[in-house]
Amino acid sequence: MSDKAIVIGAGIGGLACAAALAQRGIAVTVLEQADAIREVGAGLQISPNGLNVLSALGCTPALHQTGAVKAEAVVLEDGLDGRTVARLDLARTAPGQYLCVHRADLVSVLASTARDLGVVVELGCRVRRVLPGAAPGVELDDGTRRNADIVICADGLHSVGRNAFGEAPPAHFTGQAAWRATVPLRGPVPPEVHVVMGPGRHLVSYPLRGGRLLNLVAVEERTEWTEEGWAHGDDPMHLRRAFAGLMGTRMHLLHNVSAVNIWGLFRHPVAASWYSDGVALLGDAAHPTLPFLAQGANLALEDAWVLAQCVAEGDLVAYQGLREARVRRVIAAAESNAWKYHMRPGLARSAAHTALRIASRAAPGLLVGQFDWIYRKDVTA
């Protein structure tokens, strides 16, 4: 068992891992390059597999106080005529266990939980290099070095720590870009995730903060390259133009978007090694995933719990073996999901939508049950 850990990155995975380590009596310092704990982005879907970890960390009461919305269903709509194609009743598989939360609220709750457990969070600490070895550590931009028994890299897509395992293979643009925005709601909307499916594009929406905000994620296929990362602002007219003509329950709310970010969706290879010489990778640093199953944050939460347990048991070699097969399966499922939303008009689209409508009415449990292998995983059990 390690007595002291350094975690790089005060995002969801890093703070969750820090809290889980502290629960096990390990002294943890989190190094965050920003001068304040903040998150770019907006909404997140926390499915039961991720919520299990948050519950084990003691975060759920505070999370509910932020206005996290308990989603009751995922509703698929045909953007060409506005009709409902299928309704996946989440109450069948996860009553009250599928939350729509604001990313900033989740990060704030995790930060408070970690600090209450004794975790030290140091802001404005940019890590220049990660140093594997018998005495693993980090080198900061100011030249100072810190050492610990283990260094955990939860520093996202462009992880400094991943470079300690060798240069990462290049990522490949998927030919898709995504916009993210929130709009205020003037009236109640059902606690549901809606997906409007159109040719070469789709729009996901769900309420946040007790129904005061609606989160929008819009994905469009395109040939030109779009830079990766959430912080790139765009003109809301580009979003409205891309989705003009599509119909759906909430499509009119695109006219209320006043600020929007856009980013390119890239496929990143899963890291070949997630642990070596006292350094471990977690979440996107090890295995970025596309957003089409809303599992990025949930996988990071699972990683955080399993890695903390392996650290406590002194068996870090087991970490990747416990996680890799599941992570690769989720990533593959997410990558194959987009085409189902983006089908062009024709016989194949009509047949697929007809089959979904029939299954939604005749065997609704079967539709939502296809995700049981994701949602019913409990790494804390």
pLDDT in tens, 329-362: 999 999 888 788 999 999 999 999 998 888 888 8
Residue 226 has pLDDT above 80, yes or no: no
Residue 167 has pLDDT above 80, yes or no: no
- The answer to whether the beta carbons of residues 183 and 39 sit under 8 Å apart is no
- The reported pLDDT for the residue numbered 93 is 74
Q: How many CB atoms lie within 10 A of CB 297?
A: 25
Residue 47 has pLDDT above 80, yes or no: yes
Residue 229 has pLDDT above 70, yes or no: no
Segment 2-17, tens digit of pLDDT: 689 999 999 999 999 9
| 15: exposed, middle or buried (Cβ count in 10 Å: 0-12, 13-18, 19+) | buried
R_g of the chain computed on alpha carbons: 21
Q: Residue 331: how many CA atoms within 13 Å on its side-chain side? A: 20
- Cα separation, 305 vs 311, whole angstroms: 10
Residue 98 has pLDDT above 60, yes or no: yes
- Cα separation, 65 vs 76, whole angstroms: 29
Residue 310 has pLDDT above 70, yes or no: yes
- The reported pLDDT for the residue numbered 38 is 65
pLDDT averaged over the chain? 92
Tokens of 260: 């929007």
- The reported pLDDT for the residue numbered 50 is 98
Closest CA to 182 of 254, 268, 107: 254
Once rounded to an integer, what is the mean pLDDT over residues 201-207? 97
Helix/strand/coil (H/E/C) assignment for every residue in the chain: CCCEEEEECCCHHHHHHHHHHHHCCCEEEEEECCCCCCCCCCEEEECHHHHHHHHHCCCHHHHHHCCCEECCEEEEEECCCCCEEEEEEHHHHCCCCCEEEEHHHHHHHHHHHHHHCCCEEEECCCEEEEECCCCCEEEECCCCEEECCEEEECCCCCCCHHHHHCCCCCCEEEEEEEEEEEEECCCCCCCEEEEEEECCEEEEEEEEHHHCEEEEEEEEECCCCCCCCCCEEECHHHHHHHCCCCCCCCHHHHHHCCCEEEEEEEECCCCCCCEECCEEECHHHCCCCCHHHCCHHHHHHHHHHHHHHHHHHCCCCHHHHHHHHHHHHHHHHHHCCHHHHCCCCCHHHHHHHHHHHHHHHHCHHHHHHCCHHHHCCCCCC
Residue 185 has pLDDT above 60, yes or no: yes
pTM: 0.95
- List active site positions: 206
- Cα separation, 301 vs 323, whole angstroms: 12
